[in-house]
Structure 1
Amino acid sequence: MSKVYSLKTIQQLPITLEQAWDFFSSPANLKEITPDNLGFNIVSKHHGEKMYAGQIIEYTVKPVLGLPLYWMTEITHVEDKKYFVDEQRFGPYSMWHHQHHFKATPKGVEMTDIVHYKLPFWFLGDIANILFVKQQLKTIFDYRFKIVEKKFGAG
């Protein structure tokens, strides 16, 4: 049985809570903060413009050897300007649970991402995590950190 892994990132942004929420809660902005080499593309046509619990968003991604994979997530929880959660319904993971938290601070906003994920294929998934998945996720979140800092400034 493969393990459940987690990743946590915290970023300070010198913007208002409203600005952070407007940007990060819009599916249209996901491509901008995702590395180009992942071939990320939103394919759903009816996912809506404003985030809501029950919202389904469909993507294609190319995480391994440029092979396209279908990924569907559901926004399962939303508390306006505080947090939202997306969970994989279909895709490359056995489990994907991604929390996005936002908190106003004297200097702007503290944004925290917490991801719990599990890979398929039992111990082979654990080996894949050691060999490349963990590092790939870290690289994706590092990229996001840099792009967001470039867009909004350092906190």
Structure 2
Amino acid sequence: MKIYTFHKKQNLPISIEQAWDFLSNPENLKTITPDYMGFHMVSGADKPMYPEQIIQYIVTPVLRIKTTWVTEITHVRDKHYFVDEQRFGLYALWHHKHFIKEIEGGGEMEDIIDYKVPFGFLGQLVHPILVKPKLEEIFNYRTRKLEELFGVYITVFNETNN
């Protein structure tokens, strides 16, 4: 069983409160997701984020195939971090930690995603040519979108292990 890690940091010239308010609001996920993914929130985003919150979306990540994705917010520490874990969806494992901290001139957001692709050995073969590039593309889009929304940014670190 191969577990991959995706790690990205981005600095934003906004306060920690602004960063938290935007990033911890599930409804804003559509704003920072590429349009081609057909992101549609089905349920669970009608309240501020809280532990045990279940959020259901429909996404179209590949070949126009609509997929239901269900995540649970498992941990929340106000203005510091939250964790979402996939309960049903594309991955065999998806554990996404979102950290936010104050830095000089704004806030730093950090994402650490531990994930496992489905289909065993076949999934591992497809990972470097489909899954990893798609994940990087989605997060690069998010970086650009946050830059548009909040101004100048600096990407500090972007790495996916193999």
Q: Alpha-carbon deviation of 1:109? A: 0.2
Structure 1 Cα separation of the partners of residues 114 and 126 of structure 2: 16
1:34 pairs with 2:44: no
The TM-score normalised by the length of structure 2 is 0.92
Secondary structure of 2:99's aligned partner: strand
- After superposition, the C-alpha distances for 1:58-91 in whole angstroms (9 at most, x for unaligned) are 0011111010001000000000000000000000
Code of the residue aligned with 2:132 in structure 1: it is: K
Secondary structure of 1:98's aligned partner: strand
1:17 pairs with 2:16: yes
Secondary structure of 1:136's aligned partner: helix
- After superposition, the C-alpha distances for 1:21-48 in whole angstroms (9 at most, x for unaligned) are 000100110000000111111111x443
- Identical-residue share of aligned pairs (%): 54
Secondary structure of 2:72's aligned partner: strand
- After superposition, the C-alpha distances for 1:114-136 in whole angstroms (9 at most, x for unaligned) are 11110111011101211211000
Regions of 4+ moved over 6 Å: none
The TM-score normalised by the length of structure 1 is 0.96
> Where does residue 138 of structure 1 map in the other structure?
136
Candidates 61, 64, 72, aligned match of 2:62? 64
> Where does residue 151 of structure 2 map in the other structure?
153
8 Å CA contact 2:27–2:45 kept in 1: the answer is: no
Structure 1 unaligned regions, length at least 5:
none
Structure 1 Cα separation of the partners of residues 80 and 64 of structure 2: 35
Code of the residue aligned with 2:36 in structure 1: it is: N
The within-5 A match list for 1:2-151 is 3-44=2-43, 46-151=44-149
8 Å CA contact 2:4–2:115 kept in 1: the answer is: yes
8 Å CA contact 1:48–1:55 kept in 2: the answer is: no
Structure 2 unaligned regions, length at least 5:
154-162
Structure 1 Cα separation of the partners of residues 4 and 38 of structure 2: 24
